[in-house]
Amino acid sequence: MKNKLEQLRQEALKQLEDLKESKSLKNQKEIWRALEIKYLGRKGQLSQILRQIKDLSTSEKKEVGAFANKVKTEIAEAFSEFENKFLSSKAGQSQVDMSLPGKRSSLGHLHPITLMQRELEELFKSLGFSILEGPELESDYYNFQALNIPEHHPARDMQDTFYVNWEDQEDENKLVLRTHTSPVQVRAMQEFGAPLKAIVPGKVFRNEALDASHEHTFYQLEGIMIDKNISISNMIAVMKELLKGIFKEEVEIRIRPGFFPFVEPGIEIDMKCRLCQGQGCPVCKQSGWLEVFPGGMIHPNVLEAGGIDSKKYSGFAFGLGLTRLAMMKHGIADIRLFNSGDLRFLEQF
CA distance 265 to 243: 22
Residue nearest to ligand FA5 (CB): 321
Closest approach of ligand FA5 to the CB of residue 102, in Å: 42
Closest approach of ligand FA5 to the CB of residue 117, in Å: 14
Closest approach of ligand FA5 to the CB of residue 91, in Å: 59
Comparison of 49 and 184: residue with beta carbon closer to ligand FA5: 184
- Taking the alpha carbons of 77, 78, 84, 85 in that order, is the dihedral positive or negative? positive
Measured CA to CA in angstroms, residue 10 lies from 3, 77, 96, 290 at distances of 11, 14, 33, 86
Closest approach of ligand FA5 to the CB of residue 339, in Å: 11
Binding site for ligand FA5 (CB under 6 A): 159, 180, 182, 206, 208, 214-215, 218, 220, 260, 262-263, 266, 291-292, 294-296, 317-319, 321, 323-324, 335
Per DSSP bridges, beta strands 289-298 and 263-272 are antiparallel
Comparison of 120 and 317: residue with beta carbon closer to ligand FA5: 317
Closest approach of ligand FA5 to the CB of residue 317, in Å: 4
CA distance 310 to 7: 105
Closest-CA residue to 307 (of 230, 221, 196): 196
Measured CA to CA in angstroms, residue 253 lies from 3, 120, 236, 244, 267 at distances of 98, 18, 10, 11, 12
69 C-beta neighbours (distance < 10 Å), count: 11
Comparison of 82 and 318: residue with beta carbon closer to ligand FA5: 318
